[in-house]
């Protein structure tokens, strides 16, 4: 789904690698920020010498190197040999492998829906109930994460199958601190404040937002993030879940209301750079560049944590650009919801090493090693935030660990023809002039056609 825009495309279908004890990125005991005691404790209770653990996932390029750096500590602690293979065709290959009985011990799922499909067919091993209890106690918004990894098995009974690890954060608004300071603007703490700031910027003669929905054949997907965030700020988490599963229709009043909340920002010529016509025609990768012009073409840009990759060269986070939490309504009492994505570890071929690896993920060190490098966020409250590689990651991590509700990207949980099809095109039609009621009715028709 949306992660395809960020993934390095590999020339080969698979890239395999093994971590080794000699490759430890940070020497145990040398840096007090790391919880080395958790590694020592794990080591004392896990002897897997002579065993091999195979892991298959979507991580390639730099991400592959980063996960190998974490796996090296599991090898060092247990004596097991770890073999990791990454593929840019993971979603297709894992289905083939499980059906053929040739799956790796562990699979890394970027899409919960795919894990749920395999669990229903009996291709995933349920994790221990104690693991789900551990998540409830140790992850921020812990029940949300347990729910994300819980599916019906082949027997029709719901069990916990997917351990969440490595989160992405979407509920962010990017801005240039110097522009705010020059204009006398303050970072809004509520949705009411954000809307008031939007109107004030217009009154001052500026343009509040840069919004771009362009993405080639996938044009429209950035709008789905807006709508999903607005659903979490205007309706209960339970309503969000029913929407994602189509237990309530796509044209339910709650969904229409969330889309119109997005429209409040995007369908006002005064609010967006290039006017409403520019929203659908501007590529999402070009959209944030308006923050950095002089004078600024816009003051704010809502996008996920990956967007700095598309900032003009040389822009430094915390200095030239910064972000704040996309706020909730003070008057709606829905807490601090966070929208995001991430990966789940599931056991596709059970073994003592696979069980031990799930236990390893419950140690702070399994999170801190990647935190100290790049591109990693965790809701694990026991991991030391001081190990994050920079202040930007630390602030994003704080948003994640202070969340009262976490929900996975809704369109990525929907059937592909909806979440990566009718929803995308519907949002383009909406910005183009159709009403939310018209667009949602059409999307529901597409969903009905799948039944």
Helix (H, G, I), strand (E, B) or coil at 300: strand
Per-residue confidence at 14, pLDDT binned at 50, 70, 90?
very low
Query: How many domains are contained in the chain?
Result: 2
Q: What is the pLDDT of residue 23?
A: 81
Same domain, 238 and 356: no
How high is the pLDDT of residue 223? Answer: 98
Contact 279, 211 (CB under 8 A): yes
pLDDT digits (tens, 9 = 90+) for 112-133: 999 999 999 999 999 999 999 9
Q: How far apart are CA 34 and CA 384, in angstroms?
A: 7
The angle formed by the CA atoms of residues 373, 377 and 380, to the nearest 5 degrees, is 115
416 and 371: one domain? no
Span 241-257, pLDDT tens digits: 999 999 999 999 999 99
Which CATH number characterizes residue 164's domain? 3.40.190.10
Predicted TM-score (pTM) of the model is 0.91
**Residue 76 binned pLDDT confidence (cut-offs 50, 70, 90):** very high
The reply to whether 118 and 206 lie within a common domain is no
Q: What pLDDT, in 10s, does the model give residues 128-163?
A: 999 999 999 999 999 999 999 999 999 999 999 999
Mean pLDDT estimate for the chain: 94
Give pLDDT tens digits for 285-339: 999 999 999 999 999 999 999 999 899 999 999 899 999 999 999 999 999 999 9
Same domain assignment for residues 152 and 215: no
pLDDT in tens, 423-441: 999 999 999 999 999 999 9
List, for residues 188-225, the tens digit of each pLDDT value.
999 999 999 999 999 999 999 999 999 998 999 999 99
Tokens representing residue 161 in the block: 């199958």
Summarize pLDDT for 345-402 with one digit per residue, the tens.
999 999 999 999 999 999 999 999 999 999 899 999 999 999 999 999 999 999 999 9
Whether residues 344 and 443 fall in one domain: no
119, 159, 347, 351, 357 from 155: Cα distances, Å: 10, 10, 17, 21, 26
Is residue 255 domain-shared with residue 313, that is, in the same domain? Answer: yes
Domain span at residue 40?
Answer: 2-169+339-408
- Exposure b/e, 378-387, CB count within 10 A at least 16 = b: bbbeebbbeb
pLDDT at 3: 41
CA distance 322 to 318: 5
Q: Name the 3-class secondary structure at 344.
A: strand
* 185 and 290 housed in the same domain: yes
Question: Is 148 found in the same domain as 44?
Answer: yes
Question: Alpha-carbon distance 272 to 228, whole Å?
Answer: 20
> Same domain, yes or no, for 368 and 429?
no
User: What are 31-68's pLDDT values in tens digits?
Assistant: 999 999 999 999 999 999 999 999 999 999 999 999 99
Residue 446 is predicted with a pLDDT of: 97
Per-residue pLDDT at 5 exceeds 60:
no
**Residue 215 and residue 92 share a domain:** no
**Could you tell me if 104 and 122 lie in one domain?**
yes
Residues 6+ away with beta carbon under 8 Å from 217 = none
CB neighbour list of residue 30: distance below 8 Å, 6 or more residues apart: none
User: Does one domain contain both 28 and 76?
Assistant: yes
């Amino acid at each position: 789904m949306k992660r395809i825009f960020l993934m390095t495309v590999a020339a080969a279908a698979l890239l395999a690698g093994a971590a080794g004890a000699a490759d430890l990125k940070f020497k145990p005991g040398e840096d007090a920020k790391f919880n080395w005691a958790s590694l020592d404790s794990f080591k004392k209770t896990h002897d897997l010498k002579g065993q091999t653990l195979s892991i298959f996932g979507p991580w390639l390029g730099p991400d592959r190197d980063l996960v190998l750096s974490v796996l090296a500590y599991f090898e060092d602690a247990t004596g097991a040999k770890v073999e990791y293979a990454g593929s840019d065709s993971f979603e297709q290959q894992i289905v083939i492998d499980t059906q053929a009985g040739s799956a790796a011990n562990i699979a890394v799922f970027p899409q919960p829906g795919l894990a749920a499909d395999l669990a229903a067919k009996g291709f995933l091993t349920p994790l221990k109930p104690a693991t789900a209890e551990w998540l409830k106690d140790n992850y921020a918004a812990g029940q949300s994460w347990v729910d994300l990894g819980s599916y019906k098995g082949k027997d029709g009974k719901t069990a916990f199958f997917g351990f969440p690890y490595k989160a992405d954060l979407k509920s962010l608004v990017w801005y240039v601190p110097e522009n705010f300071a020059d204009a006398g603007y303050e970072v809004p703490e509520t949705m009411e404040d954000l809307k008031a700031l939007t109107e004030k910027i217009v009154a001052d003669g500026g343009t509040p937002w840069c919004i771009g929905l362009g993405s080639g054949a996938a044009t429209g997907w950035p709008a789905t993030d807006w709508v999903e965030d607005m659903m979490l700020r205007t309706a209960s988490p339970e309503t969000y879940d029913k929407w994602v599963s189509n237990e309530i229709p796509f044209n339910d009043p709650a969904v229409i209301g969330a889309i119109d909340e997005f429209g409040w920002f995007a369908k006002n010529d005064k609010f967006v750079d290039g006017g409403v016509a520019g929203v659908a025609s501007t590529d999402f990768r070009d959209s944030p560049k308006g923050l950095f012009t002089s004078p600024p073409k816009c003051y704010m840009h809502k996008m996920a944590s990956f967007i700095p990759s598309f900032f003009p060269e040389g822009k430094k986070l915390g200095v030239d650009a910064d972000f704040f939490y996309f706020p909730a309504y003070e008057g709606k009492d829905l807490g601090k919801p966070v929208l995001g994505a991430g990966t789940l570890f599931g056991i596709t071929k059970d073994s003592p090493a696979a069980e031990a690896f799930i236990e390893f993920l419950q140690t702070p060190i399994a999170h801190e090693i990647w935190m100290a490098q790049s591109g990693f966020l965790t809701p694990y409250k026991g991991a030391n935030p001081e190990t994050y590689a920079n202040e930007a990651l630390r602030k994003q991590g704080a948003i994640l660990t202070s969340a009262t509700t976490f929900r996975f990207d809704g369109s990525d949980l929907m059937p592909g023809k909806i979440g990566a099809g009718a929803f995308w095109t519907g949002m383009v039609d909406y910005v183009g002039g159709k009403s939310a009621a018209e667009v949602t009715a059409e999307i529901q028709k597409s969903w009905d056609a799948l039944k």
